Structure 1
């Protein structure tokens, strides 16, 4: 008796079909709740300041009045509904906590920020000035800025999306000032002994008896040299503090994170630890056991401050956090912090920026992180492949080397720190990025992240002033052209998109929604690359193939990273896979889940083949 099964092969279509034809040929997939089953998640990162900006001026170093700025209120129900329909489960609102900006908000009781220690005009979102409030630029009424963000949280939840915001534990702005601290909360450094370089409960490291000096460079002038009462090459800080990236110089280098100061977590200047350490074997313990361990323990002051900040935002309805440069903070702190968060919300989404593969398991198992960036291995290799600097084959080794933690390694191709996928400096065109997106989204059970504008091919061509092209600036007031065309003056209907941009967004929607509904996406991985590389005639070096499968669903993924070669070949499904899937000899019609084309899986003597023609930058997804 033949086994009834589901076979899928993931596809990114690059043909000439119109957007309307695509929509009529195959109904759009709907997100379906699978009760009791684990699922993929999709994070949509938005740079909150830029998302709703309709201004297209893009003058370098332009002011809000010249270049515009987006607001919390720009995330309308319609905008959120369309983001949800794209195949998104979580929104990461980047740049929400109140950070330094060069704009006069003194009538709201907010002190002016000094251009000598602010990057750009709009300021770095990672130089947080007040953790208990939000960026006044983002509010229609800055006096009501917190209420406007709380309304956005509620609106996001109403549209069945989860909310993530940033916490930047390694450093804060040099001029940190908590204007709206809850009762009993003291500012960072308020109780510090500034006469010593280090004390365990100091929040900062100091350079005793030495004033801070503003870094200088012949190639850089704050505000591009524009006159400003505070733009005088001076900033009052005595004694000087260590800089955010760890520089111990009273006058940091211009390339240091000079706008921030390093937070002290009880790591002595010689690198030794001045706090309790986790017992042996705690990598196997759950967050409840970690939480119990820390009860009654004497921990550094900064630990308590950041825990309280996280719990404050949880109480306001935030569903999770993205932690900036988490590996610069000791893993024991993360055990303390994250276990406290999970006790309040076991489903909190905790994502960390970690770039050292040797530390991945420590931050997941000891630090109780849910997810880490998979940049150094998967992202970096995909980038090398599309730039012609590497073959795709090592993706197999990367995936297999992380088999025990693959679910925890978030995949992305675009974010605020990286060059835009569609930029000449990365893939070169949105179409060349399609096979990368197929592989990034389907290679593992990990979450997938998309940066706003990526789904319509934003190339980051603007020179914002402090921020230059290839990355959408996080320091300036700028517009995001491709995204603005989708936004269509606030209609959020794609009305100004080109035909190619509409087709691209349709592709992203089909792919992301597919990953949310596919049981095999949280199943097993097995490469079929090696056998096809060795045994398949005309199997181009730019091709990459693997299978994903679960009890009820079987997937075959084929991606063509070549942007010039059309490949005609018989893809081999080895006997080991056919046996695991319990498929008998015979022919099986397979149908593309995204665009509707058919192919045939033929099994002879326990070995399967699928005759394929794969165009440049094309990949494939079929169902039996």
Structure 2
């Protein structure tokens, strides 16, 4: 989260202003910061919340319209309520009038460290008061030219409720009860627009995405059947053309990828039309879809042309249930999860934390960051797609405290000005050397680094095939299939055995690897296994692997990457 990353202010006053709680700047992400990220094993940095969104802070002296607090969530605003697609958040600039240039300098600094840049694209909705003061000459704003008398028209950018006025949710207190000139419940919008989550009402609830309005891609969401009114071989709807121009603008500035918010809410035909055109600008540009419906995975990869999809409801949910020790949870379920992704497993982006999810170290999750070690070891190695680490995860940030609009729920706020305490210890007043970390935090960060470096540097992980060993050990009395997970990744002559322990106890196990597997991998009778994470060497008898099982020892909440 870019506005939190470099903030060293430790005040953390609930509902605090930018001046009180501070804010991270583009310039704070200096050469040392980027070297530290690179050293962790990263190849890309997703700068979350860069595009200009609605905020409470007043920048009128810089020619930026003041946003109405009645339709802004939190003091700092939601990064997903974008108000100008051709601009960046002024909060993060040292010189507001040079904000775009400061972000362009960050892109260059990132590239200079051999890292690539990802930013958000939020295609489904924008801020209620969308207005671009930075759009290039000749570009028309979203909504400009819309027919306000029609609820739906194929070339309207928004959906309207003619002759009705928008009403701010009655129980919404935008600034925690503080008095503020534009927090009066009198925000005016006539005709009312359909809210970002598709709430077709002029009186959305506080639980709706009321601060945003939904974009129209030629799908009549006001009708019962959601009729699609477009022809991808003809003159496509206005919203398609305008968003293509937006993405082209950022691609030409050197952005290397887009994480596409709630991609399933936009028709798959649009993605299949747009993504190839952006790849003409840069063939190596990457598109990541936030998706949650497994039935649509193949559609969005093969027809929508996405490079990667969120693996939330598969691997994340399965691992989290085990990490939380939920009743009925078992790592044995993971075999079915990845098998269901046969044919596109390597298109899945895996993670244990992001801005939407609760922190591993939070009391709402595991209450202990060490569980991230086996979780990340499995997530990073299960496929050849990317794996993601959220800032602060690698030092055990718990996301504690009620910051304002964001409650005390185990998440790091995306709506408020805030400092991230455990992460700040690594930032160490912008030295980014971990100077304030405890020995336990340093050890945890090194374990993340070892995992990420290993999967980055090994062809077996980057390109290889997968053999699941769980299925051969389900009935093994000396193997806890609920808390232990094992598989092999192989490519050419390289084979790596992955073993992860999600238990709080040291496990002495006997791992069966059937002869059909050892023959396929051409493993001789006596071999050595070297753990890429610790450097430890283990003697392995293949004869025992086929029969009674290899005797192995693994510490609580740890993992092995044994190169065979």
- Separation in 2 of the partners of 1:331 and 1:589? 49
1:623 aligns with 2:560: no
Where does residue 119 of structure 2 map in the other structure? 165
Picking from 385, 403, 421, the partner of 1:464 is: 403
Contact 2:473 2:481 in 1 (8 A): no
Picking from 216, 234, 240, the partner of 2:170 is: 216
- Separation in 2 of the partners of 1:541 and 1:261? 45
Contact 2:124 2:263 in 1 (8 A): yes
State the SS of the aligned residue for 2:317: helix
Where does residue 266 of structure 2 map in the other structure? 329
Where does residue 599 of structure 1 map in the other structure? 538
After TM superposition, the structure 1 = structure 2 runs for residues 489-508 of structure 1, keeping only pairs within 5 Å, are 489-508=429-448
Query: What number of residue pairs does the alignment pair up?
Result: 556
- Separation in 1 of the partners of 2:7 and 2:419? 6
1:544 aligns with 2:485: yes
The structure-2 alpha-carbon separation of the partners of 1:136 and 1:573, relative to structure 1 and needing over 3 Å to count, comes to: same
Contact 2:40 2:448 in 1 (8 A): yes
Higher relative contact order (CA 8 A, sep 6+): 1
After TM superposition, the structure 1 = structure 2 runs for residues 487-526 of structure 1, keeping only pairs within 5 Å, are 487-521=427-461, 522-526=463-467
After TM superposition, the structure 1 = structure 2 runs for residues 576-615 of structure 1, keeping only pairs within 5 Å, are 576-585=516-525, 587-604=526-543, 607=546, 609-615=549-555
The structure-2 alpha-carbon separation of the partners of 1:207 and 1:501, relative to structure 1 and needing over 3 Å to count, comes to: same
Picking from 81, 84, 91, the partner of 2:45 is: 91
State the SS of the aligned residue for 1:195: coil
The CA deviation at 1:53 is 0.1
1:117 aligns with 2:71: yes
Per-residue displacement from partner, 1:366-394 (whole Å, max 9, x unpaired)? Answer: 11110110001111111111112200101
- Separation in 2 of the partners of 1:606 and 1:471? 43
Per-residue displacement from partner, 1:200-222 (whole Å, max 9, x unpaired)? Answer: 100011000111111122xx411
State the SS of the aligned residue for 1:216: coil
1:273 aligns with 2:210: no
The structure-2 alpha-carbon separation of the partners of 1:509 and 1:109, relative to structure 1 and needing over 3 Å to count, comes to: same
State the SS of the aligned residue for 2:10: coil
- Separation in 1 of the partners of 2:545 and 2:208? 60
State the SS of the aligned residue for 2:246: helix
- Separation in 2 of the partners of 1:443 and 1:425? 26
Contact 1:427 1:433 in 2 (8 A): no
Comparing 172-181 and 532-541, the one that deviates more: 532-541
State the SS of the aligned residue for 2:429: helix
The structure-2 alpha-carbon separation of the partners of 1:190 and 1:539, relative to structure 1 and needing over 3 Å to count, comes to: closer
Per-residue displacement from partner, 1:550-594 (whole Å, max 9, x unpaired)? Answer: 11210111111112x222122111111101011232x22222222
Contact 2:511 2:545 in 1 (8 A): no
Contact 2:498 2:562 in 1 (8 A): no
Unmatched 5+ stretches in structure 2:
none
Picking from 288, 300, 315, the partner of 1:351 is: 288
Picking from 240, 243, 247, the partner of 2:192 is: 240
TM-score, scaled to structure 2: 0.97
After TM superposition, the structure 1 = structure 2 runs for residues 200-349 of structure 1, keeping only pairs within 5 Å, are 200-217=154-171, 220-268=172-220, 269-270=222-223, 271-276=226-231, 294=233, 297-349=234-286
Per-residue displacement from partner, 1:275-301 (whole Å, max 9, x unpaired)? Answer: 125xxxxxxxxxxxxxxxx5xx20000
- Separation in 2 of the partners of 1:552 and 1:216? 65
- Separation in 2 of the partners of 1:184 and 1:420? 44
After TM superposition, the structure 1 = structure 2 runs for residues 14-163 of structure 1, keeping only pairs within 5 Å, are 47-163=1-117
- Separation in 2 of the partners of 1:505 and 1:368? 35
Picking from 560, 572, 594, the partner of 2:501 is: 560
Picking from 446, 449, 457, the partner of 2:388 is: 449
Contact 1:579 1:606 in 2 (8 A): no
Contact 2:497 2:563 in 1 (8 A): no
The structure-2 alpha-carbon separation of the partners of 1:600 and 1:243, relative to structure 1 and needing over 3 Å to count, comes to: same
1:423 aligns with 2:377: no
Per-residue displacement from partner, 1:78-133 (whole Å, max 9, x unpaired)? Answer: 11011011100000000000000101100001111111100000000000000001
Picking from 276, 279, 299, the partner of 1:362 is: 299
1:474 aligns with 2:407: no
- Separation in 1 of the partners of 2:560 and 2:362? 24
Contact 1:375 1:411 in 2 (8 A): yes
Contact 2:512 2:545 in 1 (8 A): no
Where does residue 291 of structure 1 map in the other structure? none
Superposed CA RMSD in Å reads: 1.2
- Separation in 2 of the partners of 1:324 and 1:359? 15
Unmatched 5+ stretches in structure 1:
1-46, 278-293
- Separation in 2 of the partners of 1:424 and 1:599? 37
Contact 1:170 1:329 in 2 (8 A): yes
The structure-2 alpha-carbon separation of the partners of 1:475 and 1:111, relative to structure 1 and needing over 3 Å to count, comes to: same
- Separation in 1 of the partners of 2:544 and 2:276? 53
- Separation in 1 of the partners of 2:480 and 2:260? 42
- Separation in 1 of the partners of 2:314 and 2:563? 31
- Separation in 1 of the partners of 2:386 and 2:405? 32
TM-score, scaled to structure 1: 0.88
Per-residue displacement from partner, 1:24-67 (whole Å, max 9, x unpaired)? Answer: xxxxxxxxxxxxxxxxxxxxxxx000000000111100011111
